[in-house]
A and B are shown apart, each in its own frame.
Chain A
Amino acid sequence: MTEPVLPPIGMLAELTHRCPLQCAYCSNPAELLKANREMDTQGWVSLFEQAADLGVLQVHLSGGEPTLRADLVDLIACLARRGVYTNLITAGVGIAEGRIESFAEAGLDHVQLSFQGAFAATTEKIGNARGAHEKKLETARRIRAAGLPLTINAPIHRHNMEEVPDFIDLALSLGAERLEIANVQYAGWALLNRNALMPQREAVERQVEVVEAAQERLRGIMTIDFVTPDYFAIYPKPCMGGWARDAFMVAPDGTVLPCHAAATIKTLHFERFGDWTLSRIWHESSAFNAFRGTDWMQEPCRSCERREIDWGGCRCQALAIAGDAAATDPACIKSPLHARMGALINEAAGASTSANGAETFTYRRIGRVTEPTA
Chain B
Amino acid sequence: MIETARARSLVSMQSKPILKRHVRLQYDRVREAWALLSPERVFWPNEVSLDILRLCDGRQTVAEMIASLGDQYGADEAEIAPDVTGFLQEWSDKFLVTL
Contacts and interface: CB of A to CB of B under 8 A. Distances in A.
Q: How large is the interface on B (under 10, 10 to 19, 20 to 34, 35 or more residues)?
A: 20 to 34
A218 B26 CA distance: 29
B37 A7 contact: no
Contact of A109 (B3, B28, B39): B39
Given A147-B21, A219-B8, A223-B94, A55 B31 contact: yes
A217 interface: yes
Given A147-B21, A220-B9, A178 B95 contact: yes
B51 to A, nearest CB: 22
Contacts of B3: 172, 217-218, 221-222
A9 B42 contact: yes
A159 B2 CA distance: 24
Contacts of B95: 177-178, 223
Nearest to B28: A57
Nearest to B31: A55
B48 interface: no
A173 interface: yes
A53 to B, nearest CB: 8
Contacts of B92: 220
Nearest to A172: B2
Interface string B73-95: 00000000000000000001111
A232 interface: no
Interface of B: prevailing SS? loop
A225 B38 CA distance: 14
Contacts, number: 66
B24 A85 contact: yes
A372 interface: no
B59 interface: no
Nearest to A57: B42
Interface string B29-55: 011000101111010000000000000
B39 A57 contact: no
A67 interface: no
Nearest to A225: B40
A54 interface: yes
Nearest to B6: A221
B39 A110 contact: yes
A58 B6 contact: no
A220 B93 contact: yes
Contacts of B20: 149
Contacts of A149: 20-22, 39
A11 B55 CA distance: 31
Interface string A48-82: 00000011011000000000000000000000000
A219 B30 CA distance: 35
Given A55-B28, A83-B26, A221 B7 contact: yes
A83 to B, nearest CB: 6
Contacts of B37: 57-58, 85, 109
Contacts of A148: 22
A7 B22 contact: no
Tell which of B35, B37, B42, B92 has the most Cβ of chain A within 10 Å: B37
A169 interface: yes
B39 A220 contact: no
Nearest to A84: B37
Nearest to B90: A220
Contact of B6 (A9, A85, A172, A178): A172
Given A10-B42, A149-B21, A151-B39, 6 more contacts: A57-B35, A109-B24, A177-B22, A220-B8, A220-B92, A221-B3
9 contacts: A9-B42, A10-B42, A55-B31, A57-B28, A57-B42, A109-B22, A149-B21, A177-B39, A221-B8
Q: A-B pairs with the 7 shortest C-beta distances?
A: A220-B8, A55-B30, A149-B22, A85-B37, A220-B93, A110-B39, A172-B2
